[in-house]
Structure 1
Amino acid sequence: MKYSTKTAIAACLFTVACAPLQLYYKEGETVARMDRDETRCEVTALRQVPTDIRTRYIPPQYQHYKVCHGTGYCSWHRRLISPGRHESYDANLPLRARVTEQCMADKGYVRTKIKRCDAATTEATTLRATQVLPPVSEKSCAIRLKSGRWQIVTPDT
């Protein structure tokens, strides 16, 4: 089955739109301060663990299948599933992410995921970007605003 480019893009956007908000959280901290702290930690981590760009070759993948004719003669064929390709990656990325997370933890932040708000909660909320990280609970959810910022909401019981 083939998918169009538009379908693939829509699927990616839908997946991103439904994904939980991931952020460093410290109750009562301003979002601006959290952003500055995260940037400083990322810069520090980059200095401590510089990029190490490597290239690897991913060989092609084939699927073998059998074709039989009415005469009883069968033969094996192979179909290209994925062509061979070169791929570049930063070998230090996982370590740099851990250093950033440790730096943020030293500043009192915890890496947190907050689920997306459902449509009813979004409709009932006056939309405005979160400026100060509020107390959160299991009921808390996040709304992604058109500006790219987000709003954390904790619906009433």
Structure 2
Amino acid sequence: MYTLFGFLLLVVLVVIGVGLDPVAYLIDPASALIVGGMMITACMASFGPRRKRILRILFGKTTDRGDLLYGMAVCGRARTYCIGGGVLGTLLGCMIMLRNMDDPAAIGPGMALTLLTQIYALMFGYGILLPLSLSLRRRLDDLGDEAEA
């Protein structure tokens, strides 16, 4: 519950910080596909397609130590792949800009891809995946405290 609330609060604060009019400038499907696609496909290649299990671990009330450790590993690796997707998008955006140096009007889409993939990667990696991982860590620590009591 707090995870969802924290995510919604992050979105609201970004919208307030940027303002309502420029929010449309932060929406770029190509950037989201690069970051999200890299993260999802790389995680599927690393861990296999166990979507139901990871969703149950992240948002359920599991008390199995192995499941919590697995969830932490998935979140950590997903964050790494997410940041990697941001770097990939930055490089692709730079290639687009360099290819269109003779036409200054065509540089904008490359610059948008360059910057927005980094913004998406950082917001998702450190605004969602890191708190999820820390939440799992806290639940794991709570299990250890209960075992000692």
> Is TM (by shorter chain) over 0.5?
no
Normalized per residue, which structure has more strand? 1
How high is the TM-score relative to the length of structure 1?
0.27
How high is the TM-score relative to the length of structure 2?
0.28
Normalized per residue, which structure has more helix? 2
